[in-house]
Amino acid sequence: MFPYCSPTPPAQWRQEVHLASRRWPSSIIFRARLICSADSFRLRPNLARPHGPVRTREKHVRPDPPSWSALARLKRNRPCRSTNGAAFADSRGSRSKSSREIDIWSICYLGFVLPKLTEEGELPPGVHVADWQEFQSRFGGSSFRRVWLSGRLRELLQLAASSGKLRRVFIWGSFVTAKPAPRDLDLLLIMDEDFEVDGVGAAAQAVFDSARAKLLFESDVFWARASIGREILDLWLDTYQTSRSFRKRGIVELELP
Amino acid sequence: MLLAQQCIANLRTVLLEARKVHSRQDYALMAEPILLEVQQREQEILEYLSSGLEQPVAS
């Protein structure tokens, strides 16, 4: 199941981690990224931001960001072995000194970020975070059609990011299924609160015009400012997790570099 | 069916809230694909509901 079963993390292993605290209910976990080297591991600061609702391992996550002083204490943890083969580090000995600190007592990093597809060829329900490299290796190269569409997607995201206001990207639809020839791309771009379409270059404006985006990138592009709020975004994402056949499915949040 | 109707209601809520935080021009751009999505999903519900009602014209 897991590509790495050694209790010692391999060098430069970047994987998703789940953080849990004995102060929280057992259903609350954080998702973050861990950068491991042979002798230490640290969390990437920009990934300690709060995520939207995420269902992973049948748990619903609606976290607030942990304090960095608490996360920094994870460096002192000793990695050990969990029963399922994933590396596991435990820090039950550490105690918070301030009420703002979070007493994180366990950290578990997984071998896969994107889960296996279901029997229907779809991701299991939830919002699954993946970086570009992983997303590309999983969905971008198994057929000529997928290679073509991932090229379109890359160009579209480069244009959207050229505004400097791109905050989050979600992808769903046939491209994140097992279909060898997806029809098109379906994505949602969340932009900064002060984003204005008129403020970006002419080429990038095509991304935010659904008709032009369909023609140029074979994509159904949905977008909004982040100021719509987390609750509305959750509602929106929940809608896209329902397929046209009225079945719940997973979507991907593409991690921005 | 209820799930499909809930999805449409969700999209309408998104549109209502988006109207508050986008300029008129930006709202027109961002709402277009959502309105199309609502239309398509409503069409699918109608097709689903009417699929059992079709009667042969000639006997």
Query: Is residue A64 very low, low, confident or very high in pLDDT (cuts 50, 70, 90)?
Result: very low
**For residue range B26-39, what is the model confidence (pLDDT) as tens digits?**
999 999 999 999 99
The answer to whether A244 and A193 are in contact (CB under 8 A) is no
The answer to whether residue A2 sits within a structural domain is no
- Please tell me whether the overall predicted TM-score, pTM, comes out greater than 0.90 for this model: no
Least confident segment among A66-80, A180-194, A207-221, A226-240: A66-80
Residue of A184 and B58 predicted with greater confidence: A184
Would you list the DSSP string of A21-44? ETTS-TT--EEEEEEE-SS-EEE-
Determine the Cα–Cα distance for residues A130 and B19; give it in Å rounded to an integer: 31
- Strand A78-81 and strand A87-90: pairing? antiparallel
B-chain CB neighbours of A227 within 8 Å are 21
**For residue range A168-213, what is the model confidence (pLDDT) as tens digits?**
999 999 999 999 999 999 999 999 999 999 999 989 999 999 999 9
At B54 the three-state DSSP class reads coil
The answer to whether residue A248 sits within a structural domain is yes
Assembly ipTM:
0.84
B-chain CB neighbours of A235 within 8 Å are 10, 13-14
Residue of A15, A61, A24 lying closest to A42 (CA atoms): A15
Q: What is the pLDDT of residue A16?
A: 44
In chain A, DSSP finds a helix count (H) and a strand count (E) of: 6, 13
In this structure, the answer to whether residues A85 and A187 fall within a common structural domain is no
Mean per-residue pLDDT, A55-66: 37
Cα–Cα distances in angstroms (integers) from residue B59 to residues A114, B45, B50, B56, in the given order: 55, 28, 20, 7
Beta strand extents in chain A (DSSP E only): 13-21, 30-36, 41-43, 54-56, 59-61, 78-81, 87-90, 104-109, 126-131, 166-172, 185-191, 219-225, 250-255
Q: What is the span of the domain harbouring residue A202? A: 126-255
At A181 the three-state DSSP class reads coil
A-chain CB neighbours of B13 within 8 Å are 232, 235
Mean per-residue pLDDT, A164-170: 93
B25 at interface of A, judged by CB pairs closer than 8 A: yes
Q: At what angle do helices A144-161 and A132-139 cross, to 10 degrees?
A: 160
* Cα Rg of chain A, angstroms: 19
Determine the Cα–Cα distance for residues A13 and A184; give it in Å rounded to an integer: 32
Least confident segment among A35-44, A91-100, A124-133, B50-59: A91-100
Domain boundary among A61, A78, A109: A109
Contact A228 B30 (CB under 8 A): no
What's the mean pLDDT when you consider all of chain A? 68
Q: Is the pLDDT of residue A241 over 80?
A: yes
The answer to whether residue A61 sits within a structural domain is yes
Tokens standing for residue A130? 């993946």
Q: What is the pLDDT of residue A224?
A: 95
B1 at interface of A, judged by CB pairs closer than 8 A: yes
The answer to whether residue A28 sits within a structural domain is yes
Q: Is the pLDDT of residue A244 over 70?
A: yes
Determine the Cα–Cα distance for residues A172 and A215; give it in Å rounded to an integer: 19
Cα–Cα distances in angstroms (integers) from residue A198 to residues A142, A164, A201, B23, in the given order: 37, 14, 8, 11
**For residue range A100-138, what is the model confidence (pLDDT) as tens digits?**
333 444 444 433 467 888 888 999 888 888 888 888 888
Residue of B7, B34, B6 lying closest to A228 (CA atoms): B34
In this structure, the answer to whether residues A80 and A138 fall within a common structural domain is no
Q: Which of A210, A227, A229 sits opposite B33 (nearest CB)?
A: A210
Q: Is the pLDDT of residue A86 over 60?
A: no
Cα–Cα distances in angstroms (integers) from residue A36 to residues A32, A79, A87, A107, in the given order: 13, 11, 11, 13
In this structure, the answer to whether residues A91 and A145 fall within a common structural domain is no
Q: What is the pLDDT of residue B54?
A: 62
- Count of structural domains within chain A: 2
| pLDDT-above-70 percentage for chain A | 56
